[in-house]
Amino acid sequence: MTHIPQSEQSMRSEQSMHGMHHSMQSCIQACMECHQVCLQTVMNLCLEMGGKHVEPEHLRLMMNCAEICQTSANFMLSSSTFHNRLCGVCAEVCDACGQDCKSIGDMDECVEACMNCAESCRQMAGSSMQH
């Protein structure tokens, strides 16, 4: 058994925490960006364009995506022990929203924000599964 000096153990722990902090901060930013883009898109672009953009299932999905993203960011900001599980659900919702926006069209900014958030949340949840 190799003895690691206390200062080296502390430094390793700090580096590990810094890495985790950086990835969590990136995920918080991705969630906040997705929340903003989805909310602005649904309340402005979708309502103004009409047609498929205002079908009930699409509007619900976009609002659900905006809400889960904001909630996920809040859970991470508050250091909730449940943030990993919530991020897993957030990734699923963002994937679904991104795919729906892509299939409807004219929503590239939303698609990109959803896909970025889904990937970041998948990493935060500790899952490499893609849907």
Q: pLDDT tens digit string along 35-68?
A: 999 999 999 999 999 999 999 999 999 999 999 9
Burial class (CB in 10 A: 0-12, 13-18, 19+), 64: middle
Query: How confident is residue 112, by pLDDT bands cut at 50, 70 and 90?
Result: very high
Helix ranges restricted to H, the chain: 6-40, 47-49, 56-77, 83-104, 108-125
What confidence tier does 5 reach under pLDDT thresholds 50, 70, 90? low
Residue 52's identity, in one-letter code, is K
Q: Domains in the chain, start-ordered, CATH in brackets?
A: 26-125 (1.20.1270.360)
12-21, 84-93, 117-126: least confident range: 12-21
pLDDT in tens, 10-29: 444 344 444 457 889 999 99
